[in-house]
Amino acid sequence: MRKTLKKLIKGFFIVIILIVVFTTISFINHRIHLSKEDELFVYKGQMVEVNDHNMHIYVEGQGDTTLVFMSGGGTSSPMLDFKSLYSLLSDKYRVIVVEKAGYGFSDIVDVNRDIDTILSETREALSKVKIKGPYILFPHSMSGIEALHWAREYPDEIRAIIGLDIAVPESYEDYEINMPMVKLASIGANIGITRWIPGIEESDAIKYGTLTDEEIELYKVIFYRRTATKIMINEMESIKSNAIKVKENGVPDIPILIFSSNGQGTGWDEEFWKKSQKDYIEKIEFGKLVDLDCSHYVHNIEYEKIVNETKIFIDGLNKK
């Protein structure tokens, strides 16, 4: 019995030592790669100071109509994630991609992520690049909550919302986020565990989109710096209370077009996800929902169809 116990204790300490050694090697390897990748981590848009931190705003194209792209929760590089879609729109419209704190090239900070603070930072960032509304918002996933709040609080600034498989307030009523697992993922990213997992950096933007080889390389560089950042975690921890507030404020009185996925990759029950969007759009007087048979990052997969429907939708707005 004693021999067995000693073997177990010895085995336990060996495992602990191996974990410590692997973690140390991983951390050093991660830091070496980060140092080598510094020269590639160069922003493409404009950097503005908002709430004592820097936010990255990417602008492309010209036109009387301004489209503002807002990324889903945890998307490492919004600028590149939306590229396959906005590159087909920037010949006719002015396109803006807002990278919130902790996303893309924006600073990682530890600040409050209540819905009013998030919206305030987005609005201030746009004002600092001297681009005024009214805007047509293109939120993806979690940013749907911010877009709906924006349209409700400042209706003169928002002309319409074109939702890219957006979450609506009802989506979060019974949804439980596994925060311990999210925080564990954050620790893993910070010590470079992600670099040992084959293909983990292969986002849908890389798999299905139109990124160049140079852009794919940049996306991977950003991924290893902007995965499960602490402010992304703050955002996840605040999302349920934010959704409650947006629901209590009611639905916005503007045209809304939603491109709805098949529910795969959302983290929700697929049928519930689709139903929540359909139920919400029925509350909108000028609302339309387009079903897409693809997973959650619809703008990386069905970008051509989304562009065609978007142009028809915006032309309809211009005729009103």
Average pLDDT (266-274) is 93
Handedness of CA 18, 23, 28, 33 (dihedral sign): positive
> If pLDDT is split at 50, 70 and 90, which confidence band does 181 have?
confident
- Per-residue model confidence (pLDDT) at position 3: 65
Helix ranges (H only) for the chain are 2-37, 78-81, 83-86, 115-128, 143-153, 179-190, 204-208, 213-223, 230-248, 270-281, 298-301, 303-319
Q: At what angle do helices 230-248 and 143-153 cross, to 10 degrees?
A: 50
* Percent of the chain residues topping a pLDDT of 90: 77
Task: Tell me the one-letter amino acid at 47.
Answer: M
pLDDT at 220 over 90: yes
Give the pair of three-digit tokens for residue 204: 């849908």
Report whether 255 contacts 317 (CB < 8 A): yes
- Per-residue model confidence (pLDDT) at position 117: 96
Beta bridge partners of 53: 50
Measure the CA–CA gap between 193 and 188, rounded to whole angstroms.
5
Mean pLDDT score across all residues of the chain: 93
Measure the CA–CA gap between 312 and 134, rounded to whole angstroms.
19
> If pLDDT is split at 50, 70 and 90, which confidence band does 188 have?
confident
Condensed to tens digits (0 to 9), the pLDDT of residues 124-159 reads 999 999 998 899 999 999 999 999 999 999 999 999
Give the pair of three-digit tokens for residue 273: 């996800």
pLDDT at 320 over 70: no
- Per-residue model confidence (pLDDT) at position 2: 63
Q: Cis omega before residue 134 (within 30°)? A: yes
Residue 151 vs residues 5, 121, 136, 256: alpha-carbon distances, Å: 64, 15, 10, 10
Average pLDDT (262-290) is 94
Average pLDDT (64-82) is 96
Torsion of CA 110, 112, 115, 119, to 10 degrees: -60
- Per-residue model confidence (pLDDT) at position 239: 94
Average pLDDT (175-204) is 86
Half-sphere exposure of residue 231: CA atoms within 13 angstroms, side-chain side: 22
Report whether 175 contacts 141 (CB < 8 A): no
Task: Tell me the one-letter amino acid at 314.
Answer: I
Burial class, 282, CB count within 10 angstroms (exposed 0-12 / middle 13-18 / buried 19+): exposed
> If pLDDT is split at 50, 70 and 90, which confidence band does 180 have?
confident
pLDDT at 232 over 80: yes
3-class secondary-structure state, position 196: helix
Average pLDDT (89-110) is 96
Measure the CA–CA gap between 155 and 89, rounded to whole angstroms.
24
Condensed to tens digits (0 to 9), the pLDDT of residues 12-58 reads 778 788 888 888 998 898 999 999 999 999 999 999 999 999 999 99
> If pLDDT is split at 50, 70 and 90, which confidence band does 5 have?
low
Condensed to tens digits (0 to 9), the pLDDT of residues 278-309 reads 999 999 999 999 999 999 999 999 999 999 99
Measure the CA–CA gap between 86 and 132, rounded to whole angstroms.
19
Measure the CA–CA gap between 101 and 233, rounded to whole angstroms.
12
